[in-house]
Homo-oligomer: A and B are copies of this chain.
Amino acid sequence: MILKNCKYIITQDKERSVLKDLDILIEGKEIKRIGKLLNQSDEIIDCSDKIIIPGFTNAHAHAGMTIFRGLYDDDELFDWLRKINHLEEKLSYDLVYSGAKLSIMEMLSKGIVAFIDTYFFPEATILASHEYGIRLVSGRVLEGSNLKNRMEENDVLIKKQDELFKVVADPYAIYANSEENLREIMDYAKKRNLRINMHAAETRHEVFDCYQKNKKYVIEYLDSIGFLQDSILAHCGWITSNEINILKERNATVVHNPISNMKLASHAFFPFSNYKEKEVCIALGTDSAASNNSLNLFDEMKTMALLNKNNHWDASLVKAQDTLDSATLNGAKATGFNNGSIEEGKLADLFAINAKEIELQPLNDKNIISNLVYSFNSPVEFTMINGNIVFRKEMLKQWQEEADKISQKINLKILTFGKDL
């Protein structure tokens, strides 16, 4: 397949080159060549009015939770959690499957090609991901009194691994497990060569409790039991300078979720300037649609810039390019998939937007990255994963009908559960 005459290609290569009026040759699942090519392919897509962008990674999600979108919004954090947890008692495989389908349709229509997910019934999310052809990194949450069972369930997921799906070891958060459990999980993960994915240093409360109990801050504590090497850590908003050094040493990826953290008022001050100074890898996540409430990394990039500029009183601290790196390259580092940039030899995970969208104008070589991050606000034209086009704008109408049917099914169940809240 050839993407012909691409108006702009945002490569995200080492030099962050933006190419103009070139073609992209895709063979199988890979980007084979970029340049002025002959029409050496059966399938040619005219991209003369399109901007081609590396596919985004949503590095922290709870796709199944989209069934709770918009319920109990604007409640105080712990009140909201109590109500959501009450609803979760009635959760089923079918509901998680429905939520995951809604999430995946939304993500694909916004250029997201991979997501890292934590939730109940991960098999439901895995099935939905395979159906739509999106990449997924997930695992059974390893917690509670039946830790051995959870690990066996996770082993079953390991057998389902393929080029689109990877398993992690996910202890959820330090407060979800005893230290004995955490050490068992670490042992389990090492034996199977699984990376750790978990929440860390999300709230002041969590840090306070950890310090009272262990005389260590959250990241220091996790390091003391060997958890951090190559780990994926969501939030990390309540962090000391020493912990930032540790995160760098251990090659951890921090997943910033600015919208969810602002909406739940759970972060006072994400220390972006310190992270940037130490060159810690910051990926971007949406968290769940119950606390965001959209699954859109364009929104997330813009808010990442706004929040951290505002917090630091420094308009020049976060660049549009920083946020684009987080959504692409840094997300790819988190998942370990060979995507996140448009270069020869990389996986053909990319999407196209219409260069003529009104909110992008005037568009030129000087403002293209700014306009992608700060003003683009439309559905994408198509999304490609592993060399396959898995979403086209023309499918939107059909997906909306599908989403509407799923919505009716969810409403029947959720609104009945929630009657007493």
Contact = CB atoms under 8 A, between A and B. Distances in A.
Quickly give the copy total for this chain: 2
Contact of A306 (B80, B106, B262): B262
A267 B263 CA distance: 19
Given A310-B307, A313-B265, A70 B356 contact: no
A11 B346 CA distance: 51
A362 B410 contact: yes
A396 B102 CA distance: 26
Interface string A367-401: 11011001101110000000000000000100111
Contacts of A262: 306-307, 309-310
Interface residues of A, number: 80
Nearest to A306: B262
Contacts of A67: 362
Contacts of A261: 310
B77 A366 contact: no
A355 to B, nearest CB: 8
Given A69-B375, A262-B307, A366-B70, A75 B358 contact: no
A106 to B, nearest CB: 5
A181 interface: no
Contact of A105 (B71, B320, B358, B375): B358
A265 B308 CA distance: 9
A70 B367 contact: yes
Contacts of A316: 74-76, 79
A268 interface: yes
B375 A70 contact: yes
Nearest to A80: B315
A367 B310 contact: no
B410 A320 contact: no
B400 A75 contact: no
A370 B70 contact: yes
A24 B100 CA distance: 37
A259 interface: yes
Given A361-B69, A374-B70, A313 B268 contact: yes
Given A292-B375, A315-B74, A362-B69, A400 B354 contact: yes
18 contacts: A66-B361, A70-B366, A70-B368, A70-B370, A73-B320, A73-B367, A77-B315, A102-B361, A263-B305, A267-B310, A292-B374, A293-B370, A293-B375, A295-B359, A299-B302, A303-B303, A306-B307, A358-B399
Given A74-B305, A356-B404, 8 more contacts: A70-B370, A73-B370, A80-B315, A294-B375, A295-B359, A358-B400, A362-B406, A378-B379
Interface of A: 66-67, 69-71, 73-77, 79-80, 102, 105-106, 109, 259, 261-265, 267-268, 289, 292-296, 299, 302-303, 305-307, 309-310, 312-316, 318-320, 354-359, 361-364, 366-368, 370-371, 374-375, 377-379, 396, 399-401, 403-404, 406-408, 410-411, 414-415, 418
